[in-house]
Amino acid sequence: MNSVQLFNLTTIGYFASMVLFLVYLIARSPKLALAATAVAWAGFAANTAGIALRYFEAVDMGYNQAPLSNLYESVVFFAWSILLVYLLMDLKYKQRAVGAFVIPFAFIGMTWAQLGLDDAIAPLVPALQSNWLTYHVITCFLGYAGFAIACGASIMYLILDTQKDKDNKHGILALFPDIRVLDDINYKAIMFGFPMLTLGIITGAAWANYAWGTYWSWDPKETWSLIVWFVYAAFLHARFTRGWVGKRAAWLSIVGFAATIFCYLGVNLVLSGLHSYGGA
């Protein structure tokens, strides 16, 4: 078995987990929630094994590099990061309905990687041949994963907010966490993601100085990274100084994740710049 086959199993696992979480919302069976979580863990294990195996496959080909060298590998790592942060938060909150709104992000990413991207292992371009790349990519994607969890919780919050004037929640909403719990998940996920993104920008600047001789060059990726950073800095500032919670915080979290996705994919695929190799 090779790494691509393991990633295929990962995609199947995330799909099965997503479907089980959705069925759980309809059937309201705790056993289905437990099964969905177990399958998510299995998919995460396959994702982890695939990333590790891909590293050794690259070494066997003579490339001593982390499996973060192109868009395919970065999307696979993004899906892995989402599951890592989600499963850790699930251990704390045990709010299984959240999985129905978070696992789809990882499933969509893996499906796109497997069906639409080139999975060939190739040597790193000279600009990427630095340990700073590993530090930069890992911290950025852990930050992105935190923002994905926050976005999923925020979508649930806004759906639930439409029923706030009713005494009892009905249908699938009955399994949603309390609105204060969703707000807390949104806040905690961003409190995790924001320092990770900050470290990602700092290590990226160090890498830029190593590769291009300057810490900052207002490349489109750098500019959008700064925009995303300011959005989440505004989120935390508004929460600490203005008491922004609930609906306004949820909307800002969703806007922040949309900006994050554009920074990650839109800039690479649409705009040209020093990071254009990331769209390969």
User: Which pLDDT score, from 0 to 100, does residue 275 have?
Assistant: 63
Contacts (Cβ under 8 Å, ≥6 apart) of 33: 20, 21, 24, 96, 97, 99
Per-residue pLDDT of 161-181, as tens digits, reads 887 666 566 677 888 888 999
Q: How far is the C-alpha of 107 from the C-alpha of 18, rounded, in Å? A: 8
User: Which pLDDT score, from 0 to 100, does residue 278 have?
Assistant: 53
User: Which pLDDT score, from 0 to 100, does residue 266 have?
Assistant: 79
User: Which pLDDT score, from 0 to 100, does residue 79 have?
Assistant: 97
Per-residue pLDDT of 65-110, as tens digits, reads 889 888 999 999 999 999 999 999 999 999 999 999 999 999 999 9
Prediction pTM value: 0.91
Q: Are 102 and 152 in contact (CB under 8 A)?
A: yes
Residue ranges of the chain whose pLDDT lies below 50: none
